[in-house]
Structures are given as C-alpha cells and as structure tokens.
Structure 1
Amino acid sequence: MSILTVNKSRFATDISFSENKMTVFFEDGRELSVPLEWFPRLRHATLVQLKKWRFIGNGEGIHWEELDEDISIENLLE
C-alpha cells in the first residue's frame, strides 16, 4: 500500500486583485482568494495602490509601503 504525501507550501509566488477580493498564488500550485473586506486599508485602496506590493521574507508576507499594510501568509491559511 502506498501513501501519497502532499507537501503544502506556505510561500506565495504572486497575487492578483479583482473588484472585491485578493487571490494569493502559492509555489505548490494552490490559490487562495480572500475578501478585501477583511483588510480595511486594502478595501479602500485604488487598484493602482493595490498593485504596489512586494513580498517580504521570500513570500512569507506581503507589504504595501504606500498603504502601510503587511499581511502574513500564514495568518491567511489559518
């Protein structure tokens, strides 16, 4: 009997935005969509401001300098 082991990553590789959600893409192929409603600074930001992000810690978090916002990827997964 064989057992399949799935290695889940906690590191993001990209993010995208729609009108009311942010989608996080992981190095293992998973995608996670979360409502912008969860993050007031992101909810009230323009699309131009939302696109000015950078990863921190090699994909462990996302930072928006202009919006003074940091999001931990691990917290999104809990």
Structure 2
Amino acid sequence: MNPHHIVQNLSFDQENMILSVDGSTYSIPISQASKRLSQATEAERKLYQISPSGYGIHWLAIDEDLSIDGLIRLANSLPVQNASRF
C-alpha cells in the first residue's frame, strides 16, 4: 500500500507549523490549525507520529489528530500574509 501523502518534515516556529509534504512546504498559523496545538508546549508539539497511511498526524501528549488533506486545504485557503507555500 502506497502512502496517501509523504511528509518530509514537520516543525514549528513561534506562531507557525511548517509542513513539508509531497514536495511542497506550507507555513500554517498554529492557532488556526488547532486550539490544542496552540496551547501545547514546544515539547508536546514535537511528540507526534505520522500515520503509516500518510493520511494524518497524531500528537501523543495532547491527543490531537489532524489530517494532511485538511492542513493543506487550510494553508491554501488562508490569505497570503497568513500562510505561505514555498
């Protein structure tokens, strides 16, 4: 079974989630992606697992699940100054 998405990298800066997936990179405001992530500590944000199917990301410490498709849709729907695609 081929994964739905290939996540190359996931990192955070002060206000954004930087997601590199399928050869594209998206910068998404954490506060718009997830209330739980926005309230999480840096250590909690770093403790995640990509689903083997490539459909989503699970943060163990805060019990949060986000779909890759949903994050990409969010990034593409935000005004240019709020999200970027590299």
The alignment's TM-score, normalised by the length of structure 2, stands at: 0.71
Gaps of 5+ in 2: 74-86
Aligned to 1:51: 46
1:20 aligned onto 2:4 = no
Amino acid at match of 1:14: N
Distance in 1, Cα, partners of 2:54 & 2:69:
10
The match for 2:30 among 13, 36, 44 is: 36
SS of 1:67's equivalent in the other structure is: coil
Amino acid at match of 1:44: Q
Distance in 1, Cα, partners of 2:6 & 2:69:
9
Amino acid at match of 2:60: E
SS of 1:50's equivalent in the other structure is: helix
Aligned to 2:79: none
More helix by share: 2
Considering only CA atoms, is the larger Rg found in Structure 1 or Structure 2? 1
Deviation at 1:58, TM superposition (A): 3.5
Deviation at 1:74, TM superposition (A): 0.6
Distance in 2, Cα, partners of 1:10 & 1:59:
5
Which structure has more relative contact order (CA 8 Å, sep 6+)? It is 2
Q: Report runs of 4+ in structure 1 exceeding 3 Å deviation.
A: none
Task: Give percent identity, aligned residues only.
Answer: 32
Amino acid at match of 2:14: E
